[in-house]
């Protein structure tokens, strides 16, 4: 048991590191110089980076801003924001400065200055932002998947939920809105937008937020690769037999009671792949055209006949 725990813990930190690296690539290489702000502490750090004329490294600012939030989170919420949170924002902060060639005491050509990234920045701006959004979303999704955190607005949202009952999703959305707006104002008043209007960069930032948030959900929940079906029919035995013989899928009979007629009846539950849904509905219609069928998306199926997700 101890060996398994250590192995699991090692894997968690390994993947949190991978997530931190991907997140750092997205922010440090693709988004900072594009002046498209992701929101949260990362976005606030980018805003201070612009405000200082580039003298304050983004990764260092992320780490410095997270420290008081981390201490506040420990005081308010106990050990919920423990070692993994500290490690999460530390590794991502460190890698951002390394990738940008701004690690304290060391100055060299960062990945953001390579010919490819500069070309995308000047000639294919939307693709550059999409790459940043994808890397950021995948990185954060992996970190959350393996029970890590990057601190920042997550801590503020949790504290607001505890004190005032504010929903975390709503709190994070409000924080991100103000951070993106603040960064947009800095870009506008310091005339840093280059050949793109500051308002356009702000719109890009909200687009980035949408893409990265969706990718976080995809990493956490997976694509909808299966469907579950609840079937209510007077011919359940025939339908179950067809499911098992024609689709080679299992089916479970659940005991239910129809409240309208106050009748006891069975409800069939089965899970099929996406490509089998059409055949399933056709087979049910052949047996009982009046059958009541409910189809739901399924993100995770553990068991025979379906692949296992990490």
* Nearest alpha-carbon partner for 100 in 179, 196, 34, 144: 34
Query: Rounded to whole angstroms, how far apart are CA atoms 286 and 309?
Result: 34
pLDDT tens, position by position, 137-189: 999 889 888 878 888 887 887 778 777 777 766 777 888 899 999 999 999 88
What pLDDT, on a 0 to 100 scale, did the predictor assign at position 5? 46
Q: Which residues pair with 251 in a beta bridge?
A: none
* Nearest alpha-carbon partner for 131 in 146, 144, 114: 114
What pLDDT, on a 0 to 100 scale, did the predictor assign at position 310? 43
Torsion sign across C-alpha atoms 22, 28, 31, 37: positive
Going by pLDDT thresholds of 50, 70 and 90, the confidence category of residue 225 is: low
What pLDDT, on a 0 to 100 scale, did the predictor assign at position 157? 79
Domain(s) of CATH 3.30.70.120: residues in the chain: 226-298
Going by pLDDT thresholds of 50, 70 and 90, the confidence category of residue 14 is: very high
- Give CA separation, 288 vs 234, 238, 248, 249, 251, in Å: 8, 9, 20, 19, 17
Q: For residues 77-105, give the mean pLDDT.
A: 86
The strand ranges marked E within 132-237 are 226-232
If one looks up domain 226-298 in CATH, what number appears? Answer: 3.30.70.120
For 294-307, b/e burial (b = at least 16 CB within 10 A) is: eeeebeebeeeebe
What's the whole-number average pLDDT of the chain?
A: 85
Q: For residues 207-226, give the mean pLDDT.
A: 78
pTM over 0.85: no
What pLDDT, on a 0 to 100 scale, did the predictor assign at position 21? 96
Q: For residues 7-21, give the mean pLDDT.
A: 88
What whole-number percentage of the chain has pLDDT above 90? 45
Q: Give 108-156 as a DSSP string.
A: ---GGGSHHHHHHHHH-HHHHHHHHHHHHHHHHHHHHHTT----THHHH
289 φ/ψ angles, rounded to the nearest 5 degrees: -60, -20
Q: Give 23-84 as a DSSP string.
A: HHIIIIIIITTTT---SHHHHHHHHHHHHTTT-S-HHHHHHHHHHHHHHHHHHHHGGGS-HH
* Nearest alpha-carbon partner for 59 in 13, 19, 99: 99
Highest-scoring range by mean pLDDT, 29-43, 77-91, 218-232: 29-43
Going by pLDDT thresholds of 50, 70 and 90, the confidence category of residue 105 is: confident
What pLDDT, on a 0 to 100 scale, did the predictor assign at position 144? 84
- Contact assessment for residue 146 and residue 11, using Cβ atoms and an 8 Å cutoff: yes
Q: For residues 269-279, give the mean pLDDT.
A: 86
Burial of 192 (0-12, 13-18, 19+ CB in 10 A): middle
The residue whose two tokens read 């539950």 is 269
pLDDT tens, position by position, 189-216: 888 877 888 899 999 999 998 898 888 8
Query: Rounded to whole angstroms, how far apart are CA atoms 15 and 145?
Result: 9
Highest-scoring range by mean pLDDT, 65-69, 100-104, 306-310: 65-69
- Contact assessment for residue 42 and residue 62, using Cβ atoms and an 8 Å cutoff: yes
Query: Rounded to whole angstroms, how far apart are CA atoms 268 and 279?
Result: 16
Structure tokens at 100: 């940008």
- Give CA separation, 192 vs 38, 146, 284, in Å: 17, 38, 62
Which of the residue ranges 28-32, 91-95, 190-194, 298-302 would you say has the lowest mean pLDDT?
298-302
Find the Cα–Cα–Cα–Cα dihedral 81, 9, 65, 20, rounded to 10°. -140
């Amino acid at each position: 048991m101890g060996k398994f725990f250590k192995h699991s813990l090692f894997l968690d930190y390994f993947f949190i590191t991978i997530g931190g690296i991907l997140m750092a690539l997205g922010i440090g290489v693709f988004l900072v110089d594009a002046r498209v702000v992701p929101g949260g502490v990362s976005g606030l750090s980018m805003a201070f980076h612009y405000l200082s004329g580039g003298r304050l490294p983004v990764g260092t600012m992320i780490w410095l801003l997270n420290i008081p939030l981390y201490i506040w989170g420990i005081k308010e919420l106990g050990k919920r924001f423990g070692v993994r949170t500290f490690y999460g924002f530390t590794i991502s902060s460190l890698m951002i400065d390394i990738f940008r060639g701004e690690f304290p005491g060391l100055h060299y050509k960062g990945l953001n200055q390579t010919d490819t990234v500069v070309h995308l920045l000047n000639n294919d701006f939307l693709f550059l932002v999409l790459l940043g959004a994808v890397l950021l979303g995948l990185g954060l999704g992996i970190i959350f998947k393996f029970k890590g955190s990057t601190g920042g607005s997550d801590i503020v949202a949790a504290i607001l939920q505890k004190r005032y009952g504010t929903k975390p999703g709503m709190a994070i959305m409000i924080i991100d809105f103000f951070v993106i707006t603040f960064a947009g104002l800095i870009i506008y008043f310091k005339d840093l937008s280059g050949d793109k209007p500051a308002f356009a960069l702000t719109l890009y930032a909200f687009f980035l937020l949408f893409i990265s948030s969706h990718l976080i959900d995809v990493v956490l929940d997976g694509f909808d690769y299966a469907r579950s079906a609840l079937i209510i029919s007077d011919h359940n035995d025939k339908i179950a037999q067809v499911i098992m013989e024609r689709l080679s899928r299992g089916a479970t009979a659940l005991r239910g009671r129809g409240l309208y007629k106050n009748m006891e009846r069975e409800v069939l539950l089965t899970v099929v792949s996406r490509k089998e849904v059409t055949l399933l509905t056709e087979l049910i219609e052949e047996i009982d055209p009046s059958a009541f069928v409910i189809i739901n998306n399924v993100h995770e199926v553990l068991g025979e006949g379906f692949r296992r997700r990490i």
